[in-house]
């Protein structure tokens, strides 16, 4: 039953049985009551649209929406672009969040904002380029765009400073194994013709894995514990043609529902785990049946310097260890690959989440490859 029909039928029945003393209050009282009664029957979608348009009916909030259409921003960055105090910007953001227009996400001490995905707001905001802005409004938007470019520049500069501070440390690790370009090529080949769908990049770091798998994934969630690394990844991944969500989180407690992810990549992150079996079990929990988990890490080694140089908790992993942890997590080890070319051998392990059609796993490593640099 539609809203109007519901109101007409309900009001007619109610007025038929109203007590006489209420009817004697006069036409004005009856009209006011009727207005309140009718508003109580407004359908939820209509009420939601009213909240959206009320929230947008402010020049500053329209500027916020225009900026967030361009990129995800922290509240402090919005304050810089808008040239307003952070408390004032926060009040406007709160109204947009309550209306369902903007989503907020905490990353360490920072709060990042983006336009909400889905629902009526996606279509409304998608038409923003067709909105009839006045000449003055167009000048304000152009001014904001120039200041937004400065924010982009500061992000890039911060990333460059971070890389410069850690370059010696990273170069020392890279010199111990085969070139990263060879590792990436092997990863792409191993995942070729497999459905990536919604890909989860655990321990995204600079966002490089999300970048190389972006052309074949439908959506990517890039997760890392470090707010600093996520800010670098955000700069690197800006402009990618698919939705990429950057989340701060722990690989022992993934912020995803069971069986909600199509594929997972853990690249050079498992060696930081004191309980790598729990990391794999958690990955298995969120992976859909038939989905793939690709782990890239070192083969067993005795380079104790990596414990102090790079905080490695584990000095590599064997095929037997990974196979056992996969089996406990409901994963089948499909294939392995070894890339040699330095003091440390790099290993790739590809597992698949069991589905109802799977039989008991056959003992062995599955298909095994060994490449020499």
Ramachandran quadrant class, 360 (left: phi over 0; alpha: psi -120 to 50; beta: rest): beta
In whole angstroms, give the CA distance from residue 196 to residue 217.
Answer: 5
pLDDT tens-digit map of 214-243:
999 999 999 998 888 888 888 889 888 899
- Identify the pLDDT of residue 116: 85
Cα–Cα nearest to 269, from 231, 314, 336: 314
In the sheet with 367-372, reading across from the earlier edge strand, the strands are 244-248, 219-224, 198-202, 261-267, 287-298, 346-353, 331-340, 367-372
pLDDT tens-digit map of 247-284:
999 899 999 999 999 999 999 999 988 889 999 999 99
pLDDT tens-digit map of 53-93:
888 888 899 889 888 888 888 888 899 899 899 899 999 99
pTM: 0.65
The set of residues, in sequence order, having a beta carbon less than 8 Å from that of 299 and lying 6+ positions away, is: 316, 317, 318, 338, 344, 345, 346, 347
Q: Which domains does the chain have, with CATH numbers?
A: 48-152 (1.10.10.10), 176-372 (3.40.50.150)
């Amino acid at each position: 039953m539609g809203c109007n029909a519901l109101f007409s039928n309900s009001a007619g029945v109610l007025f038929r049985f109203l007590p006489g003393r209420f009817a004697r209050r006069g036409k004005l009282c009856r009209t006011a009551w009727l207005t309140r009664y009718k508003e109580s029957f407004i359908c939820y979608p209509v009420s939601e649209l009213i909240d959206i348009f009320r929230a947008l009916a402010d020049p500053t909030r329209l500027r916020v929406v225009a900026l967030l259409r361009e990129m995800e921003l922290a509240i402090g960055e919005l304050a810089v672009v808008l040239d307003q105090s952070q408390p004032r910007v926060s009040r406007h953001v709160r109204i947009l969040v309550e209306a369902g227009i903007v989503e907020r996400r905490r990353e360490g001490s920072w709060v990042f904002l983006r336009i909400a995905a889905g629902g009526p707001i996606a279509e409304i905001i998608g038409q923003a380029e067709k909105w009839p802005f006045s000449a003055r409004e167009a000048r304000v938007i152009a001014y904001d765009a120039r200041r937004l470019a400065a924010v982009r520049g500061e992000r890039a500069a911060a990333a460059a400073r971070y890389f410069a501070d850690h370059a010696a440390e990273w170069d020392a690790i890279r010199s111990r194994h085969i070139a990263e370009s060879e590792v990436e090529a092997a990863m792409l080949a191993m995942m070729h013709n497999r459905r990536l769908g919604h890909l989860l990049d655990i321990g995204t770091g600079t966002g490089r894995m999300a970048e190389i798998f972006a052309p074949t994934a439908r959506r990517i969630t890039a997760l890392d514990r470090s707010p600093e690394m996520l800010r670098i990844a955000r700069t690197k991944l800006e402009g990618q043609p698919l939705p990429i969500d950057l989340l701060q989180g722990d690989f022992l407690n993934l912020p995803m529902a069971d069986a909600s992810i199509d594929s997972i990549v853990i690249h050079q992150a498992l060696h930081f785990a004191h309980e790598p079996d729990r990391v794999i079990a958690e990955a298995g929990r969120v992976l859909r049946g038939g989905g793939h988990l690709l782990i890239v890490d070192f083969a067993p080694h005795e380079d104790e310097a990596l414990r102090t140089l790079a905080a490695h908790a584990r000095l590599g992993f064997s095929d037997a260890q990974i196979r056992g942890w996969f089996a406990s997590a409901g994963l089948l080890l499909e294939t392995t690959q070894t890339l040699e070319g330095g003091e440390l051998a790099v290993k790739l392990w590809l597992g698949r989440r069991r589905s109802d059609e799977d039989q008991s796993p056959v003992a062995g490593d599955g298909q095994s490859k060994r490449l020499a640099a």
